[in-house]
Amino acid sequence: MSLATVVLAEAATTELPFSPIVFGLIAIIAFTFLGFVTFSYRHVANRHSQVSGKPGGDGHGSQGARGA
């Protein structure tokens, strides 16, 4: 037998530590958490550039990159 056949046969007899539903719930929770982390970075550039005193928020406002 080839090595691939042995590996596939061994994998077919191994049971999962959780039910497939639990793996799905873990994935949903993880992606939701990561979505909240990403969402928390909204408008961070605008807040920091206003503190630095640059006109137009992040410097890419309607006046262009030169600010003229």
pLDDT digits (tens, 9 = 90+) for 34-45: 999 999 988 776
Two structure tokens written together for 38: 């990403």
The whole-chain average pLDDT of the chain stands at 76
Between the CA atoms of 24, 30, 32 and 35, what dihedral angle is there, to the nearest 10 degrees? Answer: -140
- The arithmetic mean of pLDDT across residues 24-31, rounded, is 97
pTM above 0.95, yes or no: no
Two structure tokens written together for 7: 């590996």
Residue 30 Cα distances to 18, 19, 40, 42, angstroms: 16, 17, 16, 20
